[in-house]
Amino acid sequence: MSGELLSSSSSAAGWLSDRDPRLRILAALGFALVVVNLHHPPILLLALGGAAALAMAAGIEPRQLARRLLLLEGFMLVLLLFLPFSVPGETLFQLGPFMASQEGMNHALLTLLRANAVVISLLALLGTLEPVVLGHALSRLGVPDKLVHLFLFTVRYIDVVHREYQRLRQAMRARAFVPRSDLHTWRTLGWLTGMLLVRSLERSRRILAAMKCRGFDGRLYLLGRYHWQAMDSYFGVIAASLLLGLLLLEHQS
């Protein structure tokens, strides 16, 4: 794992990365809301394709995308294995005493498509933003100030703490620590967690003191101004009409 934990997945410039972060947040939210209301596999496939296209446009490498999706599929698997058997309906096939129903299969398929479409669009639209930019955009959209502050500070510190963590891990490796499934490992990892807490708290005190010396009164002043360009409006309209199109298709079929 590299030092930069939350670095955005790509830095490629393109029509997508030029868009206003606020537009991207709203688009991601809108997409998610529309997708959960789609109930036909072909239309969902269309949405999934759209999300994948967005990911390509955002410059995310397919391999990276696949690796991230794999984590999601692991969780989905538990759900999907059970759904065909739990939804009543026409029998598709039998497995011992359990019957898999057509309706259940459909339900499982829909859930899988939906989850993937939402996650891909999220990674494409927001995952490529710098975390700090995301924080600023959230505050411009009216998210409570304190939450934004917490977000910005957390983002700032994650890298710092992660570097500390890597230092500690290296020290453990130097002493030939190999994680195993035993009490010794768990206790050691507990101490590691404790040490991280203690050190980072100490550090936060120093930081707060230093910031107070420089006139910090508990607020960060967000200076970045985003310019909502005509292009942003166009893209907003296009995105909205695409989403509406999906809903219309859903309604008609």
Partner 1 sequence: MRRLEYERIPQAAVLSSALFVSSLISVPVGPSSVHLILNGLMGMVLGWAAVPAIFVELLLQAVFFGFGGLLVLGVNTLNIALPALVCAALFGRRLRQKQIPRPFLLGAAAGGLGVLLTGVLVALSLALSGPAFLPAAKVIPFTYLPLVIGEAVVTGAAVSFVWRVAPELLFVPEEQHG
- Sites for partner 1 among residues 68-97 (CB under 8 A): 68-69, 71-72, 78-79, 81-83, 85-87
**Binding positions for partner 1, 222-251, rule CB under 8 A:** none
110's tokens? 């829909």
By CB under 8 A, residue 179 contacts partner 1: yes
Nearer to partner 1, 142 or 218 (CB): 218
Nearest to 46 by CA among 62, 35, 59, 32: 35
Beta bridge partners of 52: none
Rg (CA), the chain: 23
CB of 125 to partner 1, least distance (A): 9
By CB under 8 A, residue 122 contacts partner 1: yes
- Binding residues for partner 1, rule CB under 8 A, total 81
CB of 250 to partner 1, least distance (A): 17
Distance CA(57)–CA(153), nearest Å, equals 30
CB of 218 to partner 1, least distance (A): 3
CB of 108 to partner 1, least distance (A): 9
Nearer to partner 1, 53 or 81 (CB): 81
By CB under 8 A, residue 204 contacts partner 1: yes
Residues 130-159 as x/- pattern, contact with partner 1 by CB under 8 A = -x--x---------x-xx-xxxxxxxxxx-
Of 26, 46, 207, 222, the one binding partner 1 (CB under 8 A) is: 207
Nearer to partner 1, 64 or 229 (CB): 64
Nearer to partner 1, 73 or 231 (CB): 73
Nearer to partner 1, 77 or 231 (CB): 77
Distance CA(111)–CA(46), nearest Å, equals 15
Q: How many CB atoms lie within 10 A of CB 97?
A: 6
**Binding positions for partner 1, 16-75, rule CB under 8 A:** 28-29, 32-33, 36, 68-69, 71-72
